[in-house]
Structure 1
C-alpha cells in the first residue's frame, strides 16, 4: 500500500492510501478525488486521468509507452516531461509518497 498525494488545480491536497496493484487513477476514483474523470475506465483510450507528476518522482515511475504518449496529445496543456495518464501507473510500495497534480481541466 502506498500513500499518494493528489493535488487539485486549486491547490487542495488529498493524501490517500492506495492498494498495490491498483492504478493511480483507480486510487483517485475509489477515494472520490475530484479532477480525475477517468472516462474510459483505465483503458488508455482517453486523456481524462491526466496529471503532472512531481519532478522528484519522474525517475521512480515506469516510463510511458507509445499508446500513453499518443493519448497525452489529447490532454489539456500536456507537459512533455511531467504529464502522465494515471491509469498507466500501477501502485507499488515503491510509490509510497508519490505526488501528482491535476490540470485545470480534463478534456
Structure 2
C-alpha cells in the first residue's frame, strides 16, 4: 500500500493510504481532502483534480499523455512544471509516500 501526503495551500497536511490501482484523485475524494474536486470522476475530462507533485518526485512518475497535457492548459491555478491531474496518478507510486500540493483553486 502506498501513501499520499496532501499539503494544502495554508500548509496543513494529511496522509492517506492508497491501495494499488487507485488514483490520487479518487483517494482524495473518498477521504474528503479539500481542494480536489474530480468533477468528471477520473475520466480525464475536466481538470478539477489538478495538483502539484513534489518537485523531487515528479521525474519518477510516468509522463503525462497528450490528453492530460491538453487539459493542463485549462487549469484554474497556474500551470507549473510539476502540474499533474491527480486522476492520472495511480498507486503504487515510485516512492513510499507521494507528496502532493493542492492548488489554490480548481474551477
TM-score range, shorter chain: over 0.9
How high is the TM-score relative to the length of structure 2? 0.94
Q: For residue 50 of structure 1, what is the aligned residue in structure 2? A: 50
- Equivalent residues of 1:61, 1:95 under 8 A apart: no
Q: Which runs of 5+ in 2 are unaligned?
A: none
| Residue aligning to 1:82 | 82
Tell me if structure 2 keeps the 8 A contact 1:21–1:91.
yes
**Offset at 1:96?**
2.2
Match of 2:100 in 1: 100
1:18 is aligned to 18
Alignment deviations for residues 17-54 of structure 1 (CA, whole Å, 9 cap, x no partner)? 01110001011011110110000000010110000000
Show the 5 A alignment for 1:55-70: 55-70=55-70
> How many residues are treated as equivalent by the alignment?
106
In 2, the alpha carbon distance for the partners of 1:40 and 1:10 equals: 26
After TM superposition, the runs of 4+ consecutive aligned structure 1 residues lying more than 3 A away are none
Query: RMSD over aligned Cα, in angstroms?
Result: 1.0
Q: Which runs of 5+ in 1 are unaligned?
A: none
- What TM-score comes out, normalization by structure 1 length? 0.94
Given that 1:49 and 1:86 are in contact with CA atoms closer than 8 Å, whether structure 2 keeps it comes out as yes
